[in-house]
Amino acid sequence: MRILILGGDGYLGWPTAMHLAAQGHEVIAVDSYLRRQLCREVKVAPLYEVPELDKRCAIWHSLGGGKIAYQIGDLTEWEVIAGVFRDFGPQAVVHYAEQPAAPYSMLNRQAATLTLRNNLLVTANVIFAVKEFSPQAHLVKLGTMGEYGTPNIDIEEGWLEVEHKGRHQKFLYPRQAGSLYHTTKIMDTDLLWFYVRMWNLRVTDLMQGPVYGIFTAETGNDERLLPFFNYDEIFGTVLNRFVVQAVAGYPLTVFGKGGQTRGFLNIKDTLNCIRLAVENPADKGELRIFNQFTETFSVNELADKVKAVGTDFGLNVEIQHVENPRIEAEEHYYNPNHTGLMELGLKPHYLDDKTLAKMLQFAMNYRDSIARDQIYRQVKWA
């Protein structure tokens, strides 16, 4: 298929481009370098240098990976996205092109406004471009499990059957986000559901949990092909942060009581979930929702795992409970359903000691590059 990847320079976008190209699909990756720009503005950097998209595509091609086309452009601008759709004629669209960090969205008014403007306008432009130029295309949108919040009932896979006063209706599962970033994801889902009904689009919305990991089958032994690996509080995901903190001799920063529980997945499983969704498209007029994670952990459980494996490496790993800068439940019920992707054939990579050991060993190669002042900024939700 001809697959358009929006946000193709990001932590997930670039590995997805390689993975789908390796499967024989024709791929174009589009990005505005927003993540790189925001990292510079808040003075954080990934653990290692990451080549820009043109260089990554050239490296991939030189190593026999085939061609990944690319374009740098701001997808909030209609002329940019319309041009890409007109020229490429995608049969599937993978939409990652959003400001990706909850802490960034809570920094200040300017960060909040940027998050709202970028995320909602890009999603709207994607929907209009599909309608105008590729009405048969399947749109695969990356949502987040954070849309659901932490309700005191089981979390269904996107939809909830309700009986009320003798009548029955199927609704989108109630959302209650914990940050502005997650709120924009809820708005994305609402936009998609509206236009699926109005225009008979075919859409898969993937409610993804926090991702961890560095390596995929396509990166091989060439570190120039690795994805972004942020370890700061703003753009780094929790397990990636803990791994670098352990290597740096920085106490693992557990927010509050540490009972916050989420659904996690290995970056390899993200790629397989995207591929399965793309290769098994939703029907016309369907908003198909999958909960995209493989296992649940509390923050305390993750910290304990990193401490145990780090100790085997001779690291002195301490766990420190710090004041929670976020407004969230620190102990709660959490039981989300996640059968849809398994039924499509997902074979999960579970978090074991070997996986953690490989991440720690890799991070140790870059110990001298770790900037301790980036690790914990105490970005306060209030």
Catalytic machinery residues: 144, 181, 185
Task: Report the alpha-carbon distance of residue 274 to residue 86 in Å, rounded.
Answer: 23
Cβ partners under 8 Å of residue 301, min gap 6: none
Name the nearest CA neighbour of 310 among 355, 357, 244.
Answer: 357
Task: Report the alpha-carbon distance of residue 159 to residue 164 in Å, rounded.
Answer: 16
Name the nearest CA neighbour of 267 among 227, 232, 307.
Answer: 227
**Furthest-apart CA atoms within the chain: distance in Å:** 65
Cβ partners under 8 Å of residue 283, min gap 6: 202
Contact 330, 258 (CB under 8 A): yes
Q: What is the CA radius of gyration of the chain?
A: 20
